[in-house]
Chain A
Amino acid sequence: MRILVSFFLLYFAGYVTFHFLFLLQVRRPLRHPGPPPEQPWLPPCSILVPAYNEEATILDTVESCRRSRYPLFDIIVINDGSQDGTLKVLQDTYDLAPTPRPPWRKVAHQTIRTVYFSRQDPRLLVIDKVNGGRADALNAGLSYSRHPLIACIDADSLVEPESLLRCAAAFSSQEVVAAGGVVRVLNGCKFKDGVLQEVHLPRSPIATMQVIEYTRAFFVQRPAMARRNALAIISGAFGIFRREMVVALGGFEGRTSAEDMEMVLRIHAAWGKGRQAFVPEPVVWTEVPERWRDLGGQRRRWHRGLALTLWRYRRLLFSRRHPWLGWVILPYFWLYELLEPLVLLLGYAFTLALFLRGDLTAAHALGLFFLPVGANLLLSSAALLLGEVPYGRYRDIGDVLRLIFWTLSEPFWYRWFLTFWRLSGFWSALKQEVTWEKPRRHRKGMSEATSFQDRPRPSAH
């Protein structure tokens, strides 16, 4: 009994220590830094928007991108074989016409049906391709991007006009190869034509819980990781990369279903040099699931992706080349992101069983139950203090009070659902284990896009 309790206490002590380390790394101004200055010297950027069945949101996303305050950029929407009217709404709104533009670089992806340019906005390019998943769509966009930076943005997200400017400012340093920004919850906010009008907390408790989760992730963990150049993930909803580096690494990889984390770890593993930055202010607003079913599906997928990616890059664990990533961040991910649901569930089950057998007193059992709850509350409140005070967007005191209330309630209900979904995702990753290392020599329907140099000029005859 003692051994079990000691194990759980040790595990828990590790959890607290890791988060204490993260909190120590975070440097925050107490006040908002203000709007960024014009920076006409920033490298041009291609915004890649992969879209699959996004008929309802794609126009707002493209509009928000078009309003970006950035010196030189283009927008490449990749319609990844949508079965709804995604392509049609784009055609109707932006007056699209086919163009023969060939790809700029060679990256493998599914067959492209047609490339369109917009008669209304020359900065917009739409690629219509056979469905191949988000990573595949990003690779198609990557082939056609011609600027040194690529920004990957979800098709259900809104970009603030200054987000690109702030985030890409990190690239004025030659060392920076990738940068991520803060993603916030769009639910509950009012927006029109891609422009955010009012910011409010979502009405739905499920969406509100995700606000707290995002705050924890984006204002404590990621800035701390980035400070030590040990960023393990750049959110798929908003990340900027140097194009040539991504091309050199072979493009995005979709087999782990976590292409964002996979790319970041691949950069660490393959590149070894260069810095990955995290900029706390660039904000992309994204819609989060409000239904249990959708949230469950998303979290299962995320956890499965996490498991597969961590397994694939297990060689980075305790790597001497990456002291912070290998010795702090990845052990944290293995122990407290991947295995936490399993340990938590087992811990509570043992506590209950020992209590029922009479091996634990009520004070012991309650202590073991409330210790992680208290630690979780402490972490969430610290994240709110660090993130929401300088960079917070909720101006309404009613919203703030509701946020506090739901933060207090989180460990008692939301965490349990999360634990269940994450376990389920972990299980699905385990089942897939045998297929991980199978070499995939050829994918049916996959075309290797040729670069423009390789493309022969048709004969004049």
Chain B
Amino acid sequence: MADILVILSVLFFAAGFLFLFAFLVAKILNVQREKREADILEKLRQWASAGGRHGETSFVALGKNHLPLALRALQDIAAAHPERHPRGEVLFHRLDGWARIRALAQDPREGKRREGAILLGLAPSFLRAPPSLFPALLADPATEVRKAALLSLLARKEQEGAQVAFAALWHYRDGELYRYGREALRLAGTRATGLLLQALSAKEPEVRWLAIEALGDTAHAGVLPHLLALALFSADEEARIRATRSLRRYPSPQAEEALLRLARESRWEIRAQAARSLGLLGNSRREILLTLAQLARDDAYWVRNNAVSALESLGPAGKGILESLLDDPDPFTRQRVAEVFALAPGWKPA
């Protein structure tokens, strides 16, 4: 028994010491690697920005062995020249950038495909990605790969891919990626409208709501009738709130009329969204001003709050109404208005 205890103790101590030694070695190696990578990145940046054959040859020679660092160096150029940079293009092609990313994207191992998706986001934005790359990665069965691809897509702001992204999300019913999806749809713009209108009848409420918000983002005139119908007549209250919110991107008499009607709704959330949307539409005609003045005295604080913010965003006409509200009998309204003026530069209390 004593022997077993001693042997076990010795074993634990030996393993503990071994781990501590491994920790020390790993730490030293990590610190050295970080320094080495910082040096390499610095050199690549210098060679990428400086002209000349020598710089180009050196960049390619070193960059081929350190592709992520080379892409980061090229990103600096891309940040300064987002549209086009012939030298950056040459450097990227000499690195065989697309071929290497494609090879990773087609690798059977998930980790490698994810690496390919990340590198795709690092590739200089002045070069369009080959058409097959994003669709392949966005339709990947592994969530992590799709997520990395979506992030890369958003970093590169590629419209074609954005449309594919939503199709992939739709296909996978991927709850985790819906928020990314909305951003992708914003990029896709009007191209995604057909898919979004189809999504309005989805079974999952999250998909329907995402579609309403994304339709709002498209600001496409053809979408307005759908949003108006949703805001005014939908049985789904959450959908009504979101549609009312989305109307702020559609400056038109129809949207204004609908919002004036929604400002009289019984649900305070709808009134609050209607107030803000009326402000953001920017029309300061008398009827709108009067409605907002009325909403500024609403029972619900957030309706009053949004109405005051709306009046503030309507410029001088709105400010005139706000000044009259400084004497409002409701202290909440008075102080909310005072807050607006206090935050305005140069305003001094009377």
Contacts and interface: CB of A to CB of B under 8 A. Distances in A.
A117 B339 contact: yes
Interface stretch (A83-91, A135-143, A364-372): A364-372
B12 A173 contact: no
B242 interface: no
B23 A370 contact: no
Contacts of A459: 329
Contacts of B11: 374
Interface string A419-441: 00000000000000000000000
A455 B18 CA distance: 65
A366 B27 contact: no
A174 B19 contact: no
A358 interface: no
Interface string B7-21: 011111101111110
A400 B27 contact: yes
Interface stretch (B43-51, B281-289, B330-338): B330-338
B183 interface: yes
B20 A407 contact: yes
A120 B157 CA distance: 35
A371 B5 contact: yes
A370 B13 contact: yes
Contact of B301 (A41, A101, A381): A101
Given A119-B343, A404-B23, A456 B16 contact: no
> Among the interface residues B20, B176, B330, which one has the most CB atoms of the partner chain A within 10 A?
B20
A442 interface: no
A385 B12 CA distance: 16
A174 B206 contact: yes
Interface string B21-36: 0111011101100100
A175 interface: yes
Given A41-B182, A119-B343, A378 B16 contact: yes
A395 interface: yes
B330 A457 contact: yes
B151 A377 contact: no
Given A174-B206, A367-B9, A385 B26 contact: yes
Nearest to A405: B20
B53 interface: no
A364 B5 contact: yes
Given A41-B183, A364-B5, A400 B24 contact: yes
A460 interface: yes
B15 A172 contact: no
A452 B12 contact: no
A452 B6 contact: no
Contacts of B290: none
A368 B8 CA distance: 10
Nearest to A369: B9
B309 to A, nearest CB: 11
B177 A172 contact: yes
Contacts of A119: 342-343
A452 B302 contact: yes
Interface in A355-404: 361, 363-364, 366-368, 370-371, 373-375, 377-378, 380-382, 384-385, 388-389, 392, 394-395, 397, 400-401, 404
Interface string B289-313: 0000000011111100000000000
A457 B330 CA distance: 7
A172 B179 contact: yes
A37 B155 contact: yes
> Among the interface residues A404, A456, A457, which one has the most CB atoms of the partner chain B within 10 A?
A457
A377 B18 CA distance: 11
B175 interface: yes
B268 interface: yes
A353 interface: no
B297 A457 contact: yes
B302 A381 contact: no
Contact of A377 (B16, B28, B339): B16
A42 interface: yes
A60 B22 CA distance: 37
B80 interface: no
B70 to A, nearest CB: 16
Contacts of A361: 2
Nearest to A374: B12
A279 B18 CA distance: 28
B98 interface: no
Contacts of A461: 329
Contacts of B24: 400-401, 404
B5 A388 contact: no
B350 interface: no
A363 B178 contact: no
Contacts of B31: 395, 397
Contacts of A392: 27, 30
A460 B301 contact: no
Contacts of B22: 385
Contacts of A367: 2, 4-6, 8-9
Nearest to B298: A457
A395 B34 CA distance: 10
B182 A460 contact: no
Nearest to B3: A363
A175 B206 CA distance: 12
Interface in A75-112: 97-102, 104
Interface in A160-177: 172-175
Interface of A: 5, 37, 39-43, 97-102, 104, 117, 119, 122, 146, 172-175, 361, 363-364, 366-368, 370-371, 373-375, 377-378, 380-382, 384-385, 388-389, 392, 394-395, 397, 400-401, 404, 407-408, 452-453, 455-461
4 closest A-B pairs by beta carbon, nearest first, are: A367-B5, A374-B12, A381-B19, A377-B16
Given A174-B175, A367-B4, 8 more contacts: A172-B180, A374-B9, A374-B12, A381-B16, A388-B27, A397-B31, A401-B24, A404-B23
9 contacts: A99-B339, A175-B175, A366-B6, A366-B9, A367-B6, A367-B9, A375-B12, A453-B268, A453-B300
